[in-house]
Structure 1
Amino acid sequence: MGLLSCSISETITPSLLFFFLFCFIGFATATFNVTTLAFDEGYNPLFGDGNLVRSPDGHSVRLLLDVYTGSGFISSRMYQHGFFSAKIKLPSDYTAGIVVAFYTSNGDVFEKNHDELDIEFLGNIEGKPWRFQTNVYGNGSTNRGREERYNLWFDPSKEFHRYSILWTAKNIIFYVDEVPIREVVRNDAMGGDYPSKPMSLYATIWDASSWATNGGKYKVNYEYAPFTSEFKDLVLDGCAIDPIQKFPNSTACSETDTWLESRDYAVITPKSRSAMRRFRQRYMYYSYCYDNVRYPITPPECAVDSNEKQRFRNTGRLRFGGSHRKQARMERARRKRRSRAAAVSDDQTDM
Structure 2
Amino acid sequence: MVLHLILTLLCSVLALVSGYSTTLPISSFDEGYSHLFGDDNLQVLKDGKSVHLSLDERTGSGFVSQDLYLHGFFSASIKLPADYTAGVVVAFYMSNGDMYEKNHDEIDFEFLGNIRGKEWRIQTNIYGNGSTNVGREERFGLWFDPSDDYHHYSILWTDDHIIFYVDNVAIREIKRTGSMGGDFPSKPMTLYATIWDASGWATNGGKYKVNYKYAPYIAEFSDFVLHGCTVDPIELTTLKCDPTPNSNSILAHITPVERIKMEIFRKKHMQYSYCYDRMRYETPPHECVVDLEEAKRLKSFDPVTFGGSRHRHRGRTHHRSRLESF
TM-score (ref. length: structure 2): 0.82
Structure 1 outlier segments of 4+, above 4 Å: 257-263
What's 1:65 paired with?
Answer: 55
Q: Displacement of 1:99 after TM fit?
A: 0.3
Q: Displacement of 1:92 after TM fit?
A: 1.0
**Contact kept in structure 1, 2:81 and 2:218, CA below 8 Å:** yes
Greater helix share, structure number: 1
2:267 maps to 1:281: yes
**For residues 63 and 100 of structure 1, do their structure 2 counterparts lie closer, same or farther at Cα, with a shift above 3 Å needed?**
same
Alignment of 1:112-191 (within 5 A): 112-191=102-181
CA RMSD, 1 decimal: 2.3
User: Could you list the per-position Cα deviations for residues 112-163 of structure 1 after superposition, in whole angstroms to 9, with x for gaps in the alignment?
Assistant: 0000011101112222122121011000000001001111121111100000
- 2:206 maps to which of 206, 216, 219: 216
What's 1:40 paired with?
Answer: 30
Aligned-pair identity in percent equals 61
Output the amino acid matched with 2:281.
Y
What is the number of residues matched between the two proteins?
A: 284
Q: Displacement of 1:257 after TM fit?
A: 9.0
User: Could you list the per-position Cα deviations for residues 163-190 of structure 1 after superposition, in whole angstroms to 9, with x for gaps in the alignment?
Assistant: 0111100100011111100000111221
Larger Rg: 1
The SS at the match of 1:125 is coil
**Contact kept in structure 2, 1:98 and 1:205, CA below 8 Å:** yes
- Cα distance in 2 between the residues matched to 1:218 and 1:73: 27
2:304 maps to 1:318: no
Output the amino acid matched with 2:298.
F
Q: Displacement of 1:33 after TM fit?
A: 2.9
**Contact kept in structure 2, 1:61 and 1:231, CA below 8 Å:** yes
The SS at the match of 2:260 is helix
- Cα distance in 2 between the residues matched to 1:308 and 1:256: 38
What's 1:345 paired with?
Answer: none
What's 1:52 paired with?
Answer: 42
Structure 2 residue runs of 5 or longer lacking an equivalent are 1-19, 305-326
Structure 1 residue runs of 5 or longer lacking an equivalent are 1-29, 322-351
2:281 maps to 1:295: yes
- 1:198 maps to which of 188, 191, 202: 188
Deviates more, 1:297-306 or 1:56-65: 297-306
**For residues 319 and 125 of structure 1, do their structure 2 counterparts lie closer, same or farther at Cα, with a shift above 3 Å needed?**
closer
2:252 maps to 1:266: yes
Deviates more, 1:300-309 or 1:67-76: 300-309
**Contact kept in structure 2, 1:82 and 1:260, CA below 8 Å:** no
Q: Displacement of 1:295 after TM fit?
A: 2.2
Relative contact order higher in (CA < 8 Å, ≥ 6 apart): 2
**For residues 308 and 224 of structure 1, do their structure 2 counterparts lie closer, same or farther at Cα, with a shift above 3 Å needed?**
same
Output the amino acid matched with 1:129.
E
**Contact kept in structure 2, 1:32 and 1:265, CA below 8 Å:** no
- Cα distance in 2 between the residues matched to 1:283 and 1:107: 31
- Cα distance in 2 between the residues matched to 1:261 and 1:200: 26
What's 1:241 paired with?
Answer: 231
The SS at the match of 1:310 is helix
Output the amino acid matched with 1:243.
P
